[in-house]
């Protein structure tokens, strides 16, 4: 198992899922992707996470992000559990859950952290760009459900900064002012960012969101 780092090519795989066999690259096509693992089916926090993820699918769709969940349970278990999720979360799970019983994908993406749990996947998140490079990795323990607003927020930042020479500051939300990339001299920034550039410090220049 090679360590995956930001900027690396996301390893491709073919695996069983709640909706049949899935090949990662074919599934993603030219879209962005979010691959996220959870520890186990029929567990409470995971039930809230997967239900919440289903409710957020429309927002991920708007951003051209395909969702793909994973645990080391089997496909039949996923299908049964999805019925519970739909019932108790009042939703419809509308994305595949990989059935990684042989831990092929979990090992490929280092989703099992033996000192946390020797058999179950932790709550890993990989955001994959259309060129298949890994743009973000997060790891949460089993005891902490993820914040899907944060996942959308980081997608917004990744997509904005992929296309404009900006970075997003702490707690940034879509539409708020952004930071001019440190590599751009202020004079050049003023030519690029026609909505204005405020030089707070020579190294800290703010500009309105160029897409807002
Ligand atoms: C949960 O999803 O609630 C959970 C799963 C594994 C360990 C602890 C909590």
Helix (H) or strand (E) holding 190: helix 186-192
From the list 102, 109, 118, the residue with the least C-alpha distance to 68 is 109
Q: What percentage of the chain has pLDDT greater than the value 70?
A: 100
In which band, very low, low, confident or very high, does the pLDDT at 2 lie, cut at 50, 70 and 90?
confident
Average confidence (pLDDT) over 7-26: 98
Whether the CB of 50 sits within 6 Å of ligand 1: no
Given a cut of 90, whether residue 31 has pLDDT beyond it is yes
The pLDDT value given to residue 67: 98
From the list 139, 103, 136, 95, the residue with the least C-alpha distance to 5 is 136
Helix (H) or strand (E) holding 71: strand 65-71
Average confidence (pLDDT) over 155-171: 98
Given a cut of 90, whether residue 84 has pLDDT beyond it is yes
The pLDDT value given to residue 51: 98
Given a cut of 80, whether residue 206 has pLDDT beyond it is yes
Ligand 1 geometric centre to CA of 81 (Å) = 14
The pLDDT value given to residue 1: 63
Average confidence (pLDDT) over 171-193: 96
The pLDDT value given to residue 6: 98
Atom of ligand 1 nearest to the CA of 120: 6
For the chain, the average pLDDT equals: 97
Average confidence (pLDDT) over 13-21: 98
Average confidence (pLDDT) over 60-83: 98
Of 22, 46, 72, 179, which residue is the catalytic one? 46
């Amino acid at each position: 198992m090679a360590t995956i780092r930001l900027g690396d090519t996301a390893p491709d795989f073919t695996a069983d899922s709640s909706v049949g066999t899935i090949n990662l690259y074919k599934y993603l096509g030219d879209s962005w992707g979010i691959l996220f693992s959870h520890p186990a089916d029929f567990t409470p926090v995971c039930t809230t996470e997967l239900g919440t993820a289903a409710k957020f699918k429309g927002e991920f769709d708007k951003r051209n992000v395909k969702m793909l969940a994973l645990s080391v349970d089997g496909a039949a278990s996923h299908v049964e559990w999805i019925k519970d999720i739909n019932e108790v979360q009042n939703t419809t799970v509308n994305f595949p859950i990989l059935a990684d019983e042989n831990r092929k994908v979990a090992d490929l993406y280092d989703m099992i952290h033996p000192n946390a749990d020797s058999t179950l996947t932790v709550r890993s998140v990989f955001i994959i760009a259309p060129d298949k490079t890994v743009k973000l990795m997060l790891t949460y323990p089993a005891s902490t459900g993820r914040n899907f607003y944060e996942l959308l927020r980081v997608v917004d930042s990744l997509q904005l900064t992929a296309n404009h020479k900006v970075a997003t500051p702490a707690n940034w939300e879509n539409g708020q002012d952004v930071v001019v990339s440190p590599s751009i001299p202020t004079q050049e920034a003023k030519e690029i960012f026609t909505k204005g550039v405020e030089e707070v410090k020579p190294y800290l220049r703010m500009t309105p969101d160029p897409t807002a």
